[in-house]
Amino acid sequence: MSVVGTGQFFGSPEEERDKLMRSLLEQKNKQSSPEGIPVVTLNDGNTIPQLGFGVFKVDPDEAERVVTQALEAGYRHIDTAAIYGNEEGVGRAIAKSGIPREDLFITTKVWNDRHLDVEAAFEESLQKLGLEYVDLYLVHWPAPKNGTYVQAWKQMEKLGDRAKSIGVCNFLPEHLDTLLAEATTVPAINQIELHPALQQRDAVEASKAAGIAIESWGPLGQGRYDLGAEKAIADAAAKYGKTPAQVVIRWHLQNGFIVFPKTVTRSRMVENLNVFDFLLSDEEMAAITALERGDRGGSHPNDLN
């Protein structure tokens, strides 16, 4: 796999953008193999495939089929969570795939009501997944009214090699400030809702400043708006012979974000991987970035407790 960035890859934007774009272009026609998906080096030295597959709202009864198809399409990075209720299906697909464990990157998350019980919650997830370790374990939400996310983090720091990397989701700058003031380990990742209409620039910049990589959830806007109706996206799609979704995934990749679009359709799985044979220009990137309008599709991090 080619390494396209690090958790601190934002220090020199122009140089990093050039390196990123060159490395991504080198992946042309390799998107169906694990070696064809670029990786990002995190601040702990571990690497994560930059393009993965999410299973939010995938029915537990369908999870095995869906993840099996994703693995067959070429995905090696699977993102699940305890609250999704589909870890067992994900685990069955992994077990039956025949893919060496070291070639996979598996993420799961601890839910808000287990902040004071992380060790037990983590072991439950491992058992459901049928794994001895996960590659990334995340605090799913800060749930600030509960006042427990720092305690959760301190327990996560003790998981050792059973969680190769640890990180957070949905942390705003104030949550990061509070955590970093007491943490021994800096989170490797901050997974936040991020798409052209909601770019959370304050959270992105705070994370970058701490060397924390950004992972985008809901990267295509969760269907809240028609990507193809946005002129900047539609124009690029027409120019490159791509779908609006492919253009937006490309926008994420060229911004250095880790991204994992979700679909239950095999053809879309393949389509979402077919994004390494074109590059958006600086002008096209800027036009898509200008679509920011604060259109949040999920909960506000201060409201979900």
Residue 283 lies in a domain: yes
Residue 129 lies in a domain: no
Residue 177 lies in a domain: no
Is residue 23 very low, low, confident or very high in pLDDT (cuts 50, 70, 90)? Answer: low
Answer whether 0.85 is exceeded by the pTM: yes
Residue 239 lies in a domain: yes
Residue range 57-92, pLDDT digits in tens: 899 999 999 999 999 999 999 999 999 999 999 999
Q: At what angle do helices 173-182 and 201-209 cross, to 10 degrees?
A: 20
Residue 249's pLDDT is what?
98
Of 237, 238, 225, 236, nearest to 196 (Cα)? Answer: 225
On whether 140 is known to bind a ligand per the annotation, the reply is yes
Q: What are phi and psi of 217, to 5 degrees?
A: -105, 155
C-beta separation of 76 from 275 below 8 A: no
d(CA 291, CA 143): 29
Strand ordering across the sheet containing 47-49: 3-6, 39-41, 47-49
Residue 96's pLDDT is what?
97
Give how many domains the chain has, as a whole number. 1
Q: How many other CB atoms are there within 10 angstroms of residue 15's CB atom?
A: 10
Residue 60 lies in a domain: no
Instruction: Write out the two tokens for 175.
Output: 């949550």
**Among 1-15, 90-104, 134-148, 199-213, where is mean pLDDT lowest?**
1-15
**Average pLDDT value for the chain:** 90
Would you name the residues annotated as active-site residues?
Answer: 84
Residue 227 lies in a domain: yes
Residue 203's pLDDT is what?
98
DSSP string, 199-243: --HHHHHHHHHTTPEEEEESTTGGGSS-GGGSHHHHHHHHHHT--
158 SS3 class = coil
- Give the structural domain span for 284: 10-25+222-256+276-291
**Among 8-17, 30-39, 84-93, where is mean pLDDT lowest?**
8-17
Residue 206 lies in a domain: no
127-148 residues labelled b (16+ CB within 10 A) or e (exposed): ebbebeebbbbbbbbbbbeeeb
Residue 248 lies in a domain: yes
